[in-house]
Amino acid sequence: MAGLSRRGLLAGRTSRGRARRGAPGAGRVPGTRGARVRGVGVAPARPDRREPRVGRPRGGANALPLGLGARRTARDAPPRRPVRSRPRAAARTGGGCHDGVGVPGARRPSGHRAGTTAGPARNGVTRLRRPLPPEPLSRRLRVDDELKRLRTYVTAWTEQSHREIKALLRWQLLSSSKSFRPLTIFVCHHSVSATPVPPPVMLSAVALELFHNVSLVVDDLLDRSRYRRGRLTLHCRFGTLPAWMAAGYLTAGGFDLVADDAYASQLLGQLMQRLAVAECLQWRLRRRPLGLRYWEAIAAEDTGSMFEICARLGTRDGRLGKFGRLLGMLYHGCDDVADVRGAAALGGGGKEDLRDGILTLPAAIAVRDPATAALFRGPLDGNAKLLKARLAGALVEADRYLDRLAGAAIAEARRRAAHPQPLLTLVRQTRALSAG
């Protein structure tokens, strides 16, 4: 391709992160059934060697979709090691979740009822609501150097792209990106290893950043959004067709960067498939007053799949995959809540979700009320303010749900990571975003 390739990014190095012949993940490895997320997430298994699909199980068109979830590679089996006593004890604390599902490993207290809160402070979740320090996130995570390298590589890739599309890529990639997903890759690597981030992990982080921007461009096109984080969206600045072409260019560039890395190529291919399925599912379920199980299915395959892949790219196996999925679902839910509150911290658009009847976390809670469900099902017309007020009324329960979700992510990080503290910082940062 005309843009900077993986060879250009790692010029001068003797190794470009090529997968060793015969090494785990060096070839196409058939997936196995994905694990269900116990607690708050829903990630149903997907059979081997089948395309992602949305089935209709018993229960008709309103039944929970099947066929979602990640395939696993040979590297994804977590290493065998003793489970420390402290994380297990922490995992048993905390309350249950909606629909009678609890925090992973939790023991329900006597008299527990589904949907009740059993003291998030036990899991240390209350501390997550404290104001965040002004220090940049990358500095708190101690990945400043990795972030600088990432931005250098993204800039180099952009500047060596074809002149016909370079202006679009500069606008999309070199603006005010938070780089939260690449940071997740770096932090997951450091949570299980004391070594510097190796070239294959850095290249996969660059590719992941390109794929993330593909999802942003597509979201803005579908939502007909004019602005993202205070700037014109790509299609409003350059036109609809150029924006679609830029998304295709970014996709091809991302796969080119990891062409020599079979493990990363397979994971990123799965990611694009899962994002496509999640987007179609969410679009099909517009204006349908469904409950939390459906929101969990969407969140686990949309933002959840992105962060799950980040975790697996960072560790080069699946030991933190569940943590990543929970973190992504937390991010998705905080985005939903921030939109209702009118917060701009995540760059989302609550007006578009309300207009299109998207099943957000507050909506999934609010539609338990039959009158709200009727409002959600019908056209907005003059009912937008009333429906928004009903969604705002669900924010207290949504915050409790997010606290439990954060507690599940904390427990998973403590169980699986040798150095979990940076992962807990990520959870705290994500949870605080819903306040605006």
Q: What burial class does residue 179 get, using C-beta atoms within 10 Å of its C-beta: 0-12 exposed, 13-18 middle, 19+ buried?
A: buried
On the question of pLDDT at 315 being above 60, the answer is: yes
0.85 exceeded by the pTM?
Answer: no
Scored b (16 or more CB within 10 A) or e, 31-66 reads bbebbebbbbbbbbbbeeeeebeeeeeeeeeeebbb
Please report, for the domain that includes residue 392, its CATH number: 1.10.600.10
Distance separating alpha carbons of residues 362 and 332, to the nearest angstrom: 12
Confidence of residue 203 (pLDDT cuts 50, 70, 90): very high
Q: Give CA 73 to chain center in angstroms.
A: 20
On the question of pLDDT at 200 being above 90, the answer is: yes
Is 178 domain-assigned?
yes
Is 247 domain-assigned?
yes
The pLDDT value given to residue 352: 82
Is 71 domain-assigned?
no
On the question of pLDDT at 319 being above 50, the answer is: yes
Is 77 domain-assigned?
no
Distance separating alpha carbons of residues 247 and 364, to the nearest angstrom: 31
Is 82 domain-assigned?
no
Per residue in 101-117, pLDDT (tens digit) is: 333 333 333 333 333 33
Question: Tokens representing 314?
Answer: 């960072």
Is 118 domain-assigned?
no
On the question of pLDDT at 391 being above 70, the answer is: yes
Segments of 219-261 assigned E as strands: 227-228, 231-232
Give the C-alpha distances (Å, rounded to integers) separating 91 from 44, 188, 413: 22, 20, 10
Is 80 domain-assigned?
no
Distance separating alpha carbons of residues 206 and 269, to the nearest angstrom: 15
Is 232 domain-assigned?
yes
Q: How many percent of the chain have pLDDT more than 90?
A: 57
DSSP 8-state assignment for residue 228: E
Confidence of residue 395 (pLDDT cuts 50, 70, 90): very high
What domain range includes position 194? 141-433
Task: Supply the mean pLDDT for the chain.
Answer: 78
The pLDDT value given to residue 355: 85
Number of structural domains (the chain) is: 1
Is residue 225 within 8 A of residue 349, CB to CB? The reply is yes
On the question of pLDDT at 230 being above 60, the answer is: yes
The pLDDT value given to residue 349: 56
